[in-house]
Amino acid sequence: MPTPTGKILIVDDNTNIRRTLEILLPMHFAEVKAIPSPTTLESTLKRFHPDVVLLDMNFNTSINTGNEGLYWASEIKKMTPEVEVVLFTAYADIQLAVEGMKRGAFDFIVKPWDNDKLMVVLTAARDKARRAMGRDDHIQPAFAIAAESPMHWGTSAAMEGIRKTVDKIAPTEATVLITGENGTGKDVLAREIHAHSLRHEKPMVAVDAGAITETLFESELFGHVKGAFTDAHTDHVGKFEQANGGTLFLDEIGNIPLHLQAKLLRAIQNRSIVRVGANEPKPINIRLICATNMNLEQLVREGRFREDLYYRINTVHIVMPPLRERREDIEPLAQLFMMRFAEKYHRPLTHLAPDAAQMLTKAHWNGNLRELQNCIEKAVILSDGSELTTKDLQLEPAFQPTRPTFKVNSEAEEKRLVRQAMERSSGNISAAAKILGVSRPTLYAKLKKYWL
């Protein structure tokens, strides 16, 4: 047996579990320490300097919401980013553990545990931490996760047509409008256009235009000078200037209020901006790409979107197809996502089971690529072995947008449905509201009610 190395800290309120692990773990770790509560966690981390923390997900604390593990895992990563956290969870809390991994935990172990699997996970976490801290030179470097991969086009006729269009327009200065449902990959396509443009060595600056408050709209896009308003303590460079020489991507442009659209149009037409509080215009040289899930032509007819702005941003219009219209691409996309997340979460996966691939291909995917990616990420985390199965996927009957979701028999059922919708939409409020068939304000109220 290899010589025990590294330090592990156990945080669990169950006395029997602590005693058992204090007997088992010294065979693999040089130092083992156990505490019954996270209340002394900060001071223990400072004194003990562990490589790994094995963290229970529920304690008898004043928080008492079932999310204690998530909270303390986040706190550990804030205090000691190099320390790896492994979550210790009961079967009923697996979904919380999955969320914990998305937030930075190394892995999770389900109670009652298998000793061999426990040791594999904990020693892998230890080795990763010690590589990061430079404590063990003999450990071979882990295979690095590659930089963001280029767009996966698939084989569908719809995507082949878009690829040919992009090949033609990317090297030009044409303004591009990308439309399509939430989750279809409009932002990915924008990055692809920039990557193949003559401006690819310059920055691409992305802005969620619909998320900027009206009071900060001009400051965020055009910048401000010191003293322009109460909290303007220094000069601020806006997004247009940040993108100078490169590409400015305005996402959710359909959400910009009508009275602010005129200011945006003026900057685009004049190819210059004026910082808030300044008088002199600054020339800007950008390539503009816009995106929205709204029907801008309909908004123009309704007087909610300026016609002149619409034509200014619409030199080339690309419509991203929903996933249900390119089903032949679902399996290869799922395989691609699986391999990316298998690397990220240290899973030995190599392929999709045939029935799992068939299940994925037949699913509705109201949230499109974003929902598929979220589904595969969760499945990879839950998987065992080299094959991703239908059991790992845990797909349920597709949500229907018009389904009266909130006509349920209990608050527990309502909370479950809201949580599922947020998971399927990767946290996108608009997409989750669409899945549930409710308005955004209604969904916000439910999220606040259930502390989700």
- Taking only the tens of pLDDT, the chain with its 452 residues reads 568 899 999 999 888 899 989 988 998 999 999 999 888 899 999 999 999 999 998 775 444 455 778 888 989 999 999 999 999 887 656 777 788 888 888 988 888 888 888 888 899 899 889 887 776 544 433 333 333 445 788 888 899 999 999 999 999 999 999 999 988 999 999 999 999 999 999 999 999 887 787 778 888 899 988 887 777 788 888 999 999 999 999 999 998 989 899 999 999 999 999 998 888 899 999 999 999 999 999 999 999 999 999 999 999 999 999 999 999 999 999 998 999 899 888 888 989 999 999 999 999 898 899 899 989 998 998 888 899 999 999 886 544 333 444 444 566 777 888 888 887 776 777 777 777 777 666 777 777 777 77
Residue 144: how many CA atoms within 13 Å on its side-chain side? 4
Task: Please classify residue 178 by burial: count the beta carbons closer than 10 Å to its beta carbon, then call 0-12 exposed, 13-18 middle and 19+ buried.
Answer: buried
Each residue's pLDDT tens digit, 183-226: 899 999 999 999 999 999 999 999 988 778 777 888 889 998 88
**pLDDT score of 441:** 65
pLDDT of residue 6: 93
How far apart CA 421 and CA 101 sit, in angstroms, is 19
- What pLDDT, on a 0 to 100 scale, did the predictor assign at position 269? 93
Full DSSP string of 198-261: TTTTS-EEEEEGGGS-GGGHHHHHH-B-TTSSTT--S-B--HHHHTTTSEEEEETGGGS-HHHH
What is the distance between the alpha carbons of residues 30 and 32, in angstroms, rounded to a whole number?
A: 7
Identity of the residue numbered 431: A
pLDDT per position as a tens digit, 52-93:
999 998 775 444 455 778 888 989 999 999 999 999 887 656
CA distance 373 to 333: 8
Distance CA 205, CA 191 (A): 10
pLDDT value of position 45: 93
Q: Which residues pair with 191 in a beta bridge?
A: none
CA dihedral 317, 322, 327, 330 (to 10 degrees): 100
The string over 396-422, giving b where at least 16 C-beta atoms fall within 10 Å of a residue's C-beta and e elsewhere, is: eeebeeeeebeeeeeeeebbebbbbbb
pLDDT tens per residue, range 104-134 = 889 888 888 888 888 888 998 998 898 877 7
CA distance 190 to 287: 11
- What pLDDT was estimated at residue 89? 83
* 358 three-state secondary structure: helix
Strand ranges (E), 36-76: 52-56
What confidence score (pLDDT) does residue 153 get? Answer: 85
b/e per residue 224-249 (b: at least 16 CB within 10 A): beeebeeeeeeebebbbbebbebbbb
3-class secondary structure, 113: coil
For residue 74, give Cα distances in angstroms to 103, 262, 339, 340.
7, 43, 26, 23
Residue with the two structure tokens 């589904």: 375
The whole-angstrom separation of Cα 420 and Cα 423 is: 5
Is the pTM above the cut of 0.75? no
Residue pair 413/450 in contact by the 8 Å Cβ criterion = no
Name residue 287's beta-bridge partners: 247
Token output for 290: 């816009």
Tell me the chain's radius of gyration from C-alpha atoms: 25
Q: pLDDT value at position 94?
A: 73
Please give the domain boundaries of the chain with CATH numbers for all domains.
Answer: 7-133 (3.40.50.2300), 157-321 (3.40.50.300), 324-393 (1.10.8.60), 411-449 (1.10.10)
